[in-house]
Amino acid sequence: MSGRVFVAGATGVLGRRVIPRLVEAGHAVTANVRSESARSDVKAAGADVATVDLFDPDSTAPLGDAYDVVVNLATSIPTGAAAARRSAWAMNDRLRSEASVNLAASMAANRGRYVGESITFPYVDAGDSWIDEAHDRTYFWGNQTCADAEKAADSVTNGGGIGVALRFAMFFADDSPHIATMRSIARRGIFPLPGLPDARTSFVHIDDAADAVIAALDAPAGVYNVAEADPARCADHSAALAAACGKRRLRYLPRPLLKVGGASLESLARSQRVSSEALADATGWVARHAVSDAWRNPEDS
């Protein structure tokens, strides 16, 4: 069923794919944008534009009357060396906590639908076993606020609306800075992920992630994993990246470096074979891309 949809984070790597899908599905879409170039891109995709201060409850409160659904994809993820600095995550933390709370409150007040973004990284290492939404999680300063984002979605459900939190695996998108960084590191002969060769690393192709957001508009309230169908091992990703870069093989990051990297690298080194069965069962969504293939064929990803 079509409806009035407000999208925060509409110009990010995920939002850019979600907007045209929403329009194509027949929704009346309004995207929250700040720059003039972004306004032009959004309008070209068939959506209206607005500028709402996500950190101001007085600005977000009217959204509940104006829209049936709020889709919150607003993030500010640092890349490269900056990601190791806690201060670089300040804006992303505010978006996960303050902005999520404000946007969710607007939907809870009018019993609307709220779809928010979370991540799979906090799941504890499970070796080769599948990980569902009930699996144990641990947090550190770099991902703690994703718990706040999930609580915001839950508050909508508790208020009589429908709150959905999507726990995304690591995005794969050729136009994303972190994938560009990984390719650059691989060209220097180094495998850019910290996991051991047998560890499972869960990615989700950005097109599958965008399809999951659309599916979430029809999902029952709750938390759902969003990952590729069968997460590959680090050894498979390493071989695919090496082939894509014309290398015979890539060197793994030295174990002492991982210890120096602290909690952030430790969380990325976990073996996580994330299952998206719950979302598939609830909505019919399926992941169509295997990221290990996308490394080999970037022009087709």
The residues spanned by each domain of the chain are 4-300
- 99/91 Cα distance (integer angstroms): 10
Q: What angle do CA 270, 274, 280 make, to 5 degrees?
A: 170
**Is the pLDDT at 278 greater than 60, yes or no?**
yes
What was the pLDDT predicted at 252?
93
Instruction: Tell me the two tokens of residue 52.
Output: 């709402």
Which residue from 56, 57, 66 is spatially nearest to 7, judged by alpha carbons? Answer: 66
What was the pLDDT predicted at 223?
98
Helices (H), 188-283: 206-216, 234-244, 255-269, 277-283
| Residues above pLDDT 70, as percent of the chain | 95
How is domain 4-300 classified at the CATH fold level? Rossmann fold (3.40.50)
**Is the pLDDT at 89 greater than 70, yes or no?**
yes
Q: What angle do CA 130, 136, 137 make, to 5 degrees?
A: 110
Under a CB-based contact definition with an 8 Å cutoff, are residues 148 and 101 in contact?
Answer: yes
pTM of the complete model:
0.94
The model's confidence at residue 174, banded by pLDDT at 50, 70 and 90, is very high
